[in-house]
Structure 1
Amino acid sequence: AQAHAEEAAGKAEAARQSEEMKSAMLDALAHEFKTPLTAIKAAVSSLLSDNSASPAHKELLQVAEEEADRLTWLVNESVQVARIEAGRMELRKQPQAIAPLIHEVLGRMTGALESRIVEVRTSNDLPPVPADRELLLIVLRQLLDNAAKYSPPGSPIVVGASEEKGAVVVTVTDRGPGIPQADLNRVFEKFYRGPHARQSVPGTGMGLAIAREIVRGHGGELKVVSCSGQGSEFSFALPLTGQETRS
Structure 2
Amino acid sequence: MKWKMTSLFLVPLILMTVAFTFINLAAVIYFSSAEPEKNAFISFFPYEEYTRKFGRFIVFVDDKPQVSPEGKKELSKKRAWIQILNANGTEVYNLNKPEAAPKHYTPGELVHYYRYTASIQDSTLFVSWVTHEDTKWTYILGFHYHTISRYVMSFSPFKMINFWKEVILAVFVLTFLMVITIGYFFGRKLTRPLVEIIGSIQALAQGHYSIKYNIRGLYKDVYKSLNQLADALKASEVQRMRLEKMRDEWVTNLSHDLKTPLASIKGFGEVLADSDYEISPDERRKYADIIVGKTSYMEKLLEDLRLTYQLKNNLLPLQKKEENVVELVREIIIDLLNDPQYGDRAIEFVTNKEHVPLLLDRAYFTRAFTNLIYNAVIHNLPDTRVCVTVTEEAEMVTVLIRDSGKGIAEEEIDKLFTRYYRGTSTNERHQGSGLGMAIAKQIIDAHGGEICVTSKLGEGTAIRVVFLRQKDKKL
Q: 1:243 to 1:130 in 2, by over 3 A?
A: closer
Contact 2:307 2:439 (8 Å CA) reproduced: no
Q: Distance in 1 between matches of 2:307 and 2:421?
A: 20
**What's 1:190 paired with?**
419
The structure with the larger Rg is: 2
- Counterpart of 2:317 in 1: which secondary structure? coil
- Counterpart of 1:113 in 2: which secondary structure? coil
Q: What is the TM-score normalised by the length of structure 2?
A: 0.32
Q: Does residue 333 of structure 2 align to residue 106 of structure 1? A: yes
| 1:96 corresponds to which of 307, 317, 323 | 323
Shift of 1:126: 4.2
Q: Distance in 1 between matches of 2:366 and 2:359?
A: 14
Q: Does residue 314 of structure 2 align to residue 85 of structure 1? A: no
How many residue pairs get aligned? The number is 167
RMSD: 3.0
Contact 2:352 2:392 (8 Å CA) reproduced: no
For structure 1, which segment, 99-108 or 233-242, has the greater mean C-alpha deviation from structure 2 after superposition? 233-242
| 1:143 corresponds to which of 372, 375, 390 | 372
Q: Distance in 1 between matches of 2:437 and 2:414?
A: 12
Q: 1:243 to 1:234 in 2, by over 3 A?
A: closer
Shift of 1:85: 2.9
Map 1:118-197 to 2 at 5 A.
118-164=347-393, 166-193=395-422
Shift of 1:219: 0.8
Structure 1: stretches of 5+ with no match in the other structure: 1-74
| 2:345 corresponds to which of 112, 116, 120 | 116
Structure 2: stretches of 5+ with no match in the other structure: 1-298
What amino acid does structure 1 have at the position aligned with 2:325?
Answer: I
Shift of 1:157: 0.7
- Counterpart of 2:356 in 1: which secondary structure? coil
Map 1:1-247 to 2 at 5 A.
82-86=306-310, 87=313, 88-109=315-336, 110-111=338-339, 112-164=341-393, 166-193=395-422, 203-241=432-470
Q: What is the TM-score normalised by the length of structure 1?
A: 0.59
Q: Distance in 1 between matches of 2:403 and 2:382?
A: 11
What amino acid does structure 2 have at the position aligned with 1:139?
Answer: A
**Which deviations, in whole Å up to 9, do the C-alpha atoms of 1:165-190 show, x marking residues without a partner?**
52110011111110001101111110
What amino acid does structure 2 have at the position aligned with 1:212?
Answer: K
User: RCO (CA 8 Å, sep 6+): is it higher in 1 or 2?
Assistant: 1
Q: 1:148 to 1:221 in 2, by over 3 A?
A: same
Q: 1:125 to 1:108 in 2, by over 3 A?
A: closer
Q: Distance in 2 between matches of 1:185 and 1:113?
A: 28
Contact 1:126 1:162 (8 Å CA) reproduced: no
What amino acid does structure 2 have at the position aligned with 1:85?
Answer: Y
Q: 1:81 to 1:238 in 2, by over 3 A?
A: farther
Q: 1:165 to 1:153 in 2, by over 3 A?
A: same
Percent of pairs with identical residues: 25
